[in-house]
Amino acid sequence: MAHQRVALWAAEPDLDDDINDTDVDIPIPMPSSTNEMYDDPNLQLDEGSLQAMQQHIAQQAAFAQVPDVVKRFIVHFHQAVLDNNLQEVTLAYESGWTRLTEKYYAKTEWPEAETIAPLVNDDQIFLILYRELYYRHVYSRLQPNVDDRFHSYENSCELFNYLLNSDGPVSLSLPANWLWDIIDEFIYQFQSFSLFRSRPASKTDDELTMLGSEGGAQAWSSYSVLNVLYSLIQKSRANEWLKARAEGKTDEEIEEIVGEYGTKPLYRMLGYFSIIGLLRVHVLLGDFTLALKVMENVGLGQKAPFTAPTAVHVSTAYHAGICYFMLRRIPDAARVFTGVLNWVMRARQYHTRSYQYDQINKTADRMYALLALCHVLAPTRLDDNVMNIVRERYGDQMGRMGRGEEGLSTFEELFLYACPKFICANSPPYDDPVALASMLIPPTPTSPSSQNPSVVLGDPTQRHLRTASSHFISLTPVSSLKSLLKLYTSLDAQKLTGFLDTSGAGVDEEEVLSWMMVMKNAGRCVGRVTTGGTAANGEKDNDDGSRPTESLLGGEWMSISDLNFVIDQNMVHIAESTVGRRYAGWFIRNSEHAARVLDGIKASPLPPRTAPTQVQKKSADVPKGEGAPRTTGQKVAWGGVKVA
Amino acid sequence: MAATAAWLAPPSRTELIENLVSGVDRYNPSNVGILEDYLYHQIRSEEYDCLANLAILKLYQFNPDLFNPDVVINILLKALTAEPFPDFNLCISLLDDRPPNSTLDEPDPLPTLLPLVMNLYNLLHQCRFSAFWVLYRSDELEVIRENYTVECAGFEDAIREVAARSVKVTFTRISSERLGTYVDLSGPELEAWVAKQRWSFDSSTGVVSIPPNPDNQIESVVIQEHINLPQLSKVISHTVQVR
């Protein structure tokens, strides 16, 4: 139990004196790189060395300000990384870093990598990892400036360069959580940079110069980000590995398939996480089919091939669900969201310490919002537990959205809240001040700048919003139509038109018929046929549609509406389907829960001597708790332990 | 055959295109010509390959200098015929904001044409087929008809298919007059079209009957739950362990 042991650097400050400080007080050697930086022949030699000296002094001063606990932490952290001691690295990464951040760096940066370099013998690899953490902290707690954005990109490049272009696989081992965070953060920073870049109006001159430079055009380019992810996938042969696993190959065969990189956990996990990273990048760029296509070998809902951090599951489900949502495959989207939300609800107690915890909660809430949207677009019966939370959080909005066109603003609001911040693949023309200036002129309908296609298409998020809301608008007549049709088994189309034309708005029969066709189309959609029991209701097999579809993009036609109708010339015939009560899910959940309780009890040590009274007390308390699961099995379980 | 099989991989797709669509070579800008040629092949021979066309738009997204507005319009018009699949929106999603185009000799036609195509799409998506034909035949759309759809073999028939897909699931019988406005046909042409759909036309009453299919047959059912073995795997395996 590594987490119960207090590491040296986590000790209370008053104990610090007892621990020897010798390895901390290293005099700072002149970093060799500093000299090179000032190798400018135009500079006077004296001036150059003077500046180097000043730099040196400034660094020493900065070093002196670093608290001793932090220094010790860094030394210890470095040693753990050097030793490839996964347990210690995990501990330092998950609790040490977080604790010290809260204590010393809640509102400021961690010390610069150059400052702490002497502590780690200038170990460049460790310094890259340190900067990875340093910049991540800047992005999450502070406001990254333009320098941070460029430098974090350079550092990511150095890291991936080291991993991909060393001679053979590197011997580093890092915990799964960290590896996921590296990939996740890489994409987050890409997204953040793209958003930063896409707003030329609010840039300072400095920022404009940097973005306009050659390096500015290269930094965080879509091609470079995709290149990193694809390279990691290819180097680790993650797809081949997943395929081989699915085919049930033996460990030896798999080892041969994945090669020298893929056998290392570091590369294997990075490769796997990169696939999920690609899913996210494609979603951000608005390519929803390609996003699902790259996930072909990973699949959805299956168990991850190793214990992946919760954040991985959440990110996968969120982005895959968005894809299905944009593909108008609402039941598939709802199923993906429901699956993971149920899982998050149950796993909540296990991941509170993760740095990703807040992020997971935020994403989960977005998924609840998306479920509310799904429910409005295609009301299907979903898992009760999840649906209750959706109603609790978004009940008002769902009510408003159900009221036809006036619900549009609510729909848009909720979509904007729940969707990812989509990005544009390319930079505005920072290298061309004239073109840039022309973009900044607010377009007026008459001016020639309306030639700019952005006027038509808008920024990516607006564009996706527009496609989603146009679908919502087309469905607005459906809800009132539905409530009317529910009252009849057959109804003349003209009479129906009369009912709908209450306000005398001039609704004619043709219009009503087009609504009916829209409604019919909305009541059927393509969805993945699953073998699991959570499939959407009323799933109907077409000719030979009972075969499970492997591909995430594949699917069968299914009917998703409980109200069905058909038109015979002018007569509408209506049939309503009902869902019988469901018991299985409840029964299975509770059986499994009972089994877990039983296992838990059996696994715990025999009670000490005082235990009998406690047990009695406990079982006496139980009947008072309303709705508590019956625990009469408990005594038997204890008895079982005694026998064993 | 899964409902999406032809959409994911149309039988007409060659191996070369398949490799471009499924491999990393899709990012290589020098392949854009191959894909564009394939698009024009689709246009000439009444074929359609959504994923290959999305690959073109992807290359445009990453390489704005490759951007060819005529290709984009053609892709969008092709995607119109895929309703009720969401192809049109998938294409729109990839049309990134671009810096004002200065490399083209002529003014970019996209800003004026895109809203027109979007209007067409909205009418189709809202199943307002008669209105679609009115708009499509209007003077305003002449630019689209003369420059684009005239080249696109079978475009109007493909739109009639869209209407047929909605009619087929909604109606068992429909008056030929109404159907005529949906597909913009009348008289013998309509009769021929109905026959081609394998629907039957009763000339004495003027009513078209649509044969039964899973969607235009309705019945009230009570849906019972099905329990699959995998759902019970935990419970069963636990009982084995307990023993």
Nearest Cα of chain B lies from the Cα of A280 at a distance, in angstroms, of 15
By Cβ distance, the residue of B126, B214, B235 closest to A514 is: B126
The closest alpha carbon to B64, from B34, B109, B111, B99, belongs to B99
The C-alpha atoms of residue A32 and residue A38 are separated, in whole angstroms, by 11
Cβ neighbours of A568 in B, within 8 Å: 171-173
Kindly list the residues from chain A whose CB atom is less than 8 angstroms away from the CB atom of residue B201: none
Report percent pLDDT > 70 for chain A: 77
Categorize the per-residue pLDDT at A302 as very low, low, confident or very high, splitting at 50, 70 and 90.
low
Position A366 scores a pLDDT of: 92
Residue A319 has pLDDT above 90, yes or no: yes
pLDDT digits (tens, 9 = 90+) for A33-84: 444 444 455 545 566 677 777 777 777 777 778 888 888 888 888 888 888 8
* Angstrom distances, CA of residue B105 to CA of A578, B42, B64, B119: 62, 27, 15, 27
CB contact under 8 A, A290 and B58: yes
Does residue A280 surpass a pLDDT of 90?
yes
Whether the CB-CB separation of A587 and B225 falls below 8 Å is answered with no
Q: Which residues on chain B are in Cβ contact (under 8 Å) with A518?
A: 125-127
pLDDT the model gives residue B104: 55
DSSP secondary structure code for residue A154 in this structure: H
Structure tokens at B174: 């429909």
- Convert the pLDDT of each residue in A176-206 to its tens digit: 888 998 999 999 999 998 888 888 777 788 8
Q: Inter-chain contact B108–A456, Cβ cutoff 8 Å?
A: no
d(CA B98, CA B86): 23
CB contact under 8 A, B2 and A580: no
The yes-or-no verdict on residue A318 having pLDDT over 90 is yes
Single-letter code of the amino acid located at A588: I
* Cβ–Cβ gap B230/A531 under 8 Å: yes
Q: Which of A372-386, B101-115, B151-165, B209-223 has the lowest mean pLDDT?
A: B101-115
A559-608 per-position pLDDT tens digit: 888 888 888 888 888 888 887 777 888 888 888 888 889 888 888 887 77
Residue A507 C-alpha, separation from nearest chain B C-alpha, in angstroms: 13
pLDDT tens-digit map of A511-520: 888 888 888 8
pLDDT beyond 70 at A470: yes
On whether ipTM exceeds 0.90, the answer is no
Which residues of chain A neighbour B101 with C-beta distances below 8 Å?
453
- Within 13 Å, how many C-alpha atoms sit on residue A207's CB side? 15
Cα of A398 to nearest chain B Cα, Å? 23
Flag the least confident range among A142-151, B87-96, B107-116.
Answer: B107-116
Q: If phi over 0 gives left and psi between -120 and 50 gives alpha, with beta otherwise, what is residue B18?
A: alpha
Output the pLDDT for position A288: 92
Burial per residue of B83-107, b for 16 or more beta-carbon CB atoms within 10 angstroms, e otherwise: bbbbbbbbbbbbbbbbbbbeeeeee
Contact B108 A453 (CB under 8 A): yes
Q: How many beta carbons lie within 10 A of that of residue A415, not counting itself? A: 19
Angle at A310 between CA A309 and CA A311, to 5 degrees: 90
pLDDT-wise least confident of A52-61, A366-375, A406-415, B43-52? A52-61
Minimal-distance CA residue of chain B relative to A450: B111
Inspect the interface and report whether the beta carbons of B126 and A518 lie closer than 8 Å: yes
Q: Which residues of B touch A424 (CB under 8 A)?
A: 96-97
* B21-36 tens-digit pLDDT: 888 888 988 889 999 9
Chain A residues 362-381 with CB within 8 Å of chain B: none
B60 within 8 A of B33, measured Cβ to Cβ: no
pLDDT of residue A423 exceeding 80, the answer is yes
Question: Best residue in B119, B132, B223 to probe A by mutation, most A CBs within 10 Å?
Answer: B223
| Residue in A513, A518, A580 nearest the CB of B223 | A580
SS3 (DSSP) at A310: helix
- Name residues 293-312 of chain A within 8 A of B (Cβ): 293
Res. A94 pLDDT band, cuts 50 70 90: confident
Burial status of residue A429 (CB atoms within 10 A of its CB: 0-12, 13-18, 19 or more): buried
- Output the pLDDT for position A368: 92
Strand-pair partners of B90: none
